A and B are shown apart, each in its own frame.
Chain A
Amino acid sequence: MNSEKEWLYEISPKRKFIDLNFKEIWDYRDLLILFVKRDIVTVYKQTILGPLWYFIQPLFTSVIFTLVFNNIANIPTGNVPPFLFNLAGITAWNYFNQSLTKTSNTFTANAGIFGKVYFPRAIMPLKTVISGLFKFGIQLSILIVFYFYFLLQGYDLQPNTNLLLFPVYVLMMALLGLGAGMTISAFTTKYRDLTVMVGFATSLLMYISAVPYPLSEVSEKIPSLAWLVNYNPLAQIIEGFRYMILDTGIFNWSGFFYTLAFSIILFLVGLIVFNRTEKNFIDTV
Chain B
Amino acid sequence: MSIILKAQNISKQYRLGKVGTGTLGDDLKRFWYSIQGKEDPFLKVGAVNNRNSIANEDYVWALRDINFEVKQGEVLGIIGKNGAGKSTLLKLLSRVTSPTTGSIKTKGRIASLLEIGTGFHPELTGRENIFMNGAVLGMKRSEIKSKINEIIAFSGCEKYIDTPVKRYSSGMRVRLGFAVAAHLEPEILVVDEVLAVGDAEFQKKAIGKMQDLSTGEGRTVLFVSHNMASVQSLCTRGIVLENGMSVFEGDIDNTINFYLSNDKQIIPKDLSLIENRSGNGIVKFDSFHIEHSNGEIVENVLSGDTVVFSFEIDVKNLTNKSQVDLGFSIHTPQDELISVLYNSYQNVSLPVNSNGKHKVQCAISNLGLNEGEYIVKGRIECDKMESDWPKVPIGKFNVVKGDFYGTGNLGFNGKSKFLIQGKWDLKN
Interface residues of A (CB under 8 A from B): 1-2, 6-14, 28, 30-31, 33-34, 38, 41-42, 45-46, 113-119, 190-192, 279-285
Contact = CB atoms under 8 A, between A and B. Distances in A.
A33 B97 CA distance: 25
Given A38-B121, A119-B138, A190-B23, A8 B97 contact: no
A117 B94 contact: yes
B106 A13 contact: no
Given A117-B136, A282-B91, A11 B98 contact: yes
Report the 10 A-B pairs with minimum CB-CB distance, sorted nearest first.
A118-B95, A12-B103, A31-B135, A11-B104, A279-B98, A30-B141, A7-B105, A42-B123, A116-B114, A45-B123
A108 to B, nearest CB: 11
Q: What range describes how many residues of B lie at the interface?
A: 35 or more
B119 interface: yes
B97 A282 contact: yes
A42 B128 CA distance: 12
A113 B119 contact: yes
A5 to B, nearest CB: 11
B96 A114 contact: yes
Contacts of A28: 135, 138
Given A34-B132, A116-B115, A284-B20, A11 B140 contact: no
Interface string B112-151: 1011001101011000100110011111110000000000
B101 interface: yes
Given A34-B132, A284-B20, 6 more contacts: A8-B109, A10-B105, A11-B95, A117-B112, A117-B138, A190-B27
Contacts of B47: none
B102 A12 contact: yes
11 contacts: A7-B105, A8-B109, A9-B106, A13-B100, A33-B141, A34-B135, A114-B96, A116-B94, A118-B94, A191-B20, A284-B19
Contact of B97 (A41, A113, A119, A283): A283
A46 B166 CA distance: 13
Contacts of A6: 107
Contacts of B141: 30, 33-34
Given A42-B124, A116-B112, A282 B96 contact: yes
A19 B132 CA distance: 27
Nearest to A114: B96
B104 A10 contact: yes
B137 A11 contact: no
A113 B99 contact: no
Nearest to A38: B121
A274 to B, nearest CB: 15
